[in-house]
Structure 1
Amino acid sequence: MLIESEQVTEAWQVLSYGLQEDIIFRFCVIQDFDAEGGSAGGAFLSCRFNNLDIYWGIFNCCIFSECRFENCTFRGTSFPDCKFVECEFIGCAFVQDNLGSACSFRGASWYGCVQSLSAGMPTEIPLNHQAAGAA
């Protein structure tokens, strides 16, 4: 199922599809929601993620290509076997949940990604000081 050029402001629109691998979000703006639990699968192509606070989410085997994450907080969220291709992370936090479990990137791959002002990112993601001022 293709979801294209939508403004997504409800957690269920992203996290209720479960692990369906045939979901594709393309050119979507995913913003302004808090979520606890839930899982997502599929692909996110040229999407923007703004002002999210996700607790105990699972993004299983997702592909994120040319996505921009800005001011997002992920608490104890897992990204197993995800692929991040040319993504940008600005002012994001990948932090522990209330039980002390950190976000997990087990099996995740990163290709051409950059981050600035973000905490808890894997060390292989280069710091890009110019990204913070980019529009």
Structure 2
Amino acid sequence: MKRTTTNTYTPKPRWEKALSLNYVDPQTLESNKETLELYNSALLLVNTELMLAFPELSYERDYRQYPVQDIPGAVHCFMTKTFYWYLACDECDFFIIHYNFSDCPFEAEIRKLLQPFSNSPFTTQFKLQPNLVTAFKRISRLEDSKFFKAW
């Protein structure tokens, strides 16, 4: 006899729960909105000004549109050989930003945006192993070309 299930329940993605008062308290919701705003404002600056001034190949993936089952908390990633910007939602429904630089020509501009969040546990300089350049080369080999953009 074949086993079947009638349960059609699919859990909401972490990022969606993190932006809903049905799942998080008001203080967490406010913190998540601030973190998301910081992430998006920096990403906008990078995409509209900084990458035009310092063109190089970039990888960008919005995990809300292109989810990966193995990375349930992933929200968005932007990466070049010199800059890494990653937004995730942890198991406690907090948005967190990981970032890194490797001789990045616009590091000062990004750090200026991060200044108000310098003591926040939700923004962390994250060292990619073994380094950012190697991590970018690895992702270039593994990911679909639709996520890459030449400036």
Same fold by TM-score, threshold 0.5 exceeded?
Answer: no
1 or 2 for the larger relative contact order (CA 8 Å, sep ≥6)?
2
Point out the structure with max Rg over C-alpha: 2
Instruction: Write 1 or 2 for the structure with the bigger share of strand.
Output: 1
TM-score (norm 2): 0.24
